[in-house]
């Protein structure tokens, strides 16, 4: 059953989805992210691997880069349209981000247990828009998806 979100969480997850959609429309991998403290938007970003030729420009990494230097990530939530990979999960832990709202983990089971084991609150929404957009991308561009998740071959 999908998680229930309050209005603030829904608003920021919707922005993360719009970032993912923009990335898809640019020919890239549709993963968007938002960093917020309460109801204040700190930054947003999207996967830029294809657009920028940058192998570590995942959605969460782009968002955090756009946030610039922060004295503390205490009280912040990271919203991401897709469950975070190990690189992004490690960064979440390293920065001490306390809460992550995941749009979906049906197309890619990320590292929720890794995050939870390190004290991060993880909420998986399984938002149908996020699921459908990623499924479309994987279907239309399987080689690009395999590259993004560092798999040598596509099933």
DSSP per-residue letters across 9-70: HHHHHHHHHHHHHHHHHTTS---EEEEEETTEEEEEEE--HHHHT-TT--HHHHHHHHH---
Extract the runs of DSSP E, i.e. beta strands, from 81-144: 99-102, 121-124
Q: Would you call 151 a catalytic residue per the annotation?
A: no
Q: Which of 18, 19, 26, 60 is catalytic?
A: 60
DSSP 76: E
Residue 20, CB-side half-sphere exposure with 13 Å CA sphere: 30
CA 26 centroid distance within chain:
17
Residues serving a catalytic function are 60
């Amino acid at each position: 059953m999908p998680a229930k979100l309050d209005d603030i969480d829904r608003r920021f997850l919707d922005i993360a989805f719009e970032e993912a959609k923009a990335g898809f429309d640019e020919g890239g991998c549709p993963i968007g992210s938002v960093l917020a403290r309460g109801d204040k938007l700190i930054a947003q970003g999207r996967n830029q691997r294809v657009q920028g030729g940058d192998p570590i420009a995942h959605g969460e990494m782009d968002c955090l880069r756009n946030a610039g230097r922060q004295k503390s990530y205490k009280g912040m939530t990271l919203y991401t349209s897709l469950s975070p990979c190990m690189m992004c999960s490690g960064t979440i832990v390293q920065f001490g981000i306390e809460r992550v709202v995941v749009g979906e983990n049906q197309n890619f089971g990320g590292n929720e247990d890794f995050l939870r084991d390190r004290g991060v609150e993880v909420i998986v929404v399984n938002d149908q828009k996020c699921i459908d957009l990623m499924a479309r991308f994987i279907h239309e561009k399987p080689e690009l998806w395999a590259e993004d998740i560092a798999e040598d071959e596509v099933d």
